[in-house]
Amino acid sequence: MKRIIAVLVLACSAFMLFAAGPVSKEYSGKTVTLLIHPTLYKAAGGDSGIKKEFEERTGAKVEVVLAPSPEHIEKAMLDFFSHAGSFDVINFTGAELSKEICSNLLPLDSLIASSPEYDFNDIISGISAIGKYNGKQIAIGYRMTQVVSYYRKDLFEKAGIPIPTTWDEVYIAAKALTKDTNGDGKIDIYGFTAAGKAPDELAQAWLNAFYGYGGQIVQKDGRSGFNTSSGIKAANLWKKLYQEGIFPPDYFAWGRDDFINAMAQGRTAYGCFTASYYGNFFSGSITPEQIGCSPTPNGGVNRSNGWYLAINKDSKNSKLAWELIKDLTSKENQLREALQWANGPTRISTYQNSEFKKKWPHADVLIIAADNIVRDPTTKEIPRILEAITEEITYIMQNKKSTEQGMSDFSKRVDKLLGF
């Protein structure tokens, strides 16, 4: 497999110069500045990868500024306030595309229209929708972290239980699969697990159920949408899962590695987590035949994040910046990065590629998940809203507040954050 991937990577590299098409020599000697997360830059091959190829093809220089979260936001906002245009291309997560940021980004619609060879429609529509603001495309999906359901096929088959397709079915299946297998009075298999670790893993996991029940963080009137039937259902679900011992007792300390280990060891039957965790299951004796993957309940609706590329509206090199975005998100480079790094491509053609499917046998599920992503509202208060979710849902789960009181208090906190 490694040899096949290596050959394909070399083929993609050789083909890229042709596929990208000729670029005017007007860019020779010009510089485009890219503000990007170090992990993303590494996935793009670093200094010897796409950057080098782009420079050779265009004659331009790419100046790279590496900044992890939240440093990249601070740098971008300072640049926006000063209107210096120091950064041409900036990467943001979907959750970071608040109105304060989006209003400082260049609409890309005319550039997309002038680039039919780029095949913008090959990017999954649900991903592109998150990159829209006021009806205009202001960011291009680069890498995705969609959420899917992972489950132990062997545990479901042994129990004769169908894979749940709704959140109500998740509760029924998880309750039946929670078992004390050796009769010592302790649970050995938990029917459902999700991250509950502070500061915001509980909130991110719970939002999948909230969105799945049709919830909206902000309603049309601009107020909180948590104290609604959707919010009540999602809160009651998490409360039952915890109070009835379907979640592990140390749920509030669970993070990514706990879920991976529990799934690999057969100590949990089902969970909704980031799709990119898949390869981490197989460090021990577990085989791909034991791990199943399906869309998240209620049609694959999931609260996901991902990385987007955008152009600073104060950029003095917007055409060159667009050329760089096209290269980073091209069909050829999306496939190459997916095979090397295997984390959330954004193009349909990548998921349909035979080599990608060998590595990710549930590629069709990943497309469904990517196409059903729910975008958080465009407000800078999202981090504080996540904090409020964590606190109030924890109170409800621990019976420190009734569901009704907790959701009422929760909505009042969020309304205050939203300016009401």
Rounded CA Rg of the chain: 23
Tell me: domain 147-302+381-417, CATH 3.40.1390.10, correct?
Answer: no
The whole-chain average pLDDT of the chain stands at 90
Which residues touch 226 (CB under 8 Å, ≥6 apart)? Answer: 210, 215, 217, 407, 410, 411, 414
Phi, psi for residue 31 in degrees, rounded to 5: -125, 135
Helix pair 382-397, 403-417: axis angle to 10 deg: 170
**pLDDT-based confidence at 278, cuts 50/70/90?**
confident
Q: What is the pLDDT of residue 24?
A: 53
Rounded to an integer, what distance in angstroms lies between the CA atom of residue 101 and that of residue 77? 7
- CB atoms < 10 A from the CB of 39, how many? 15
Query: Which positions ≥6 away from 339 have C-beta within 8 Å?
Result: 5, 8, 9, 355, 356, 359
Question: What phi-psi label fits residue 346: left (phi over 0), alpha (psi between -120 and 50 degrees) or beta?
Answer: alpha
Residues of the chain with CATH 3.40.190.10: 2-146+304-371, 147-302+381-417
Compute CA distances 164 → 170, 212, 225, 264, 317, whole Å. 5, 13, 26, 20, 50
Give the pLDDT confidence of 49-99 residue by residue, as tens digits.
Answer: 999 999 999 999 999 999 998 899 999 999 999 999 999 999 999 888 988
Q: How many CB atoms lie within 10 A of CB 412?
A: 15
For 232-254, what is each residue's pLDDT tens digit? 999 999 999 999 999 999 999 98
- pTM: predicted TM-score of the whole model, two decimal places: 0.86
Strands 61-66 and 132-133: unpaired
164 confidence band (pLDDT: 50, 70, 90): very high
Least confident range of 23-27, 102-106, 137-141, 353-357: 23-27
Average pLDDT over residues 344-351: 95
Is CATH 3.40.50.720 the classification given to domain 2-146+304-371?
no
| Per-residue model confidence (pLDDT) at position 4 | 44
Name the pLDDT band for 178 (thresholds 50, 70, 90): very high
What is the separation of C-alpha 72 from the centre of its chain, rounded to a whole number of angstroms? 18
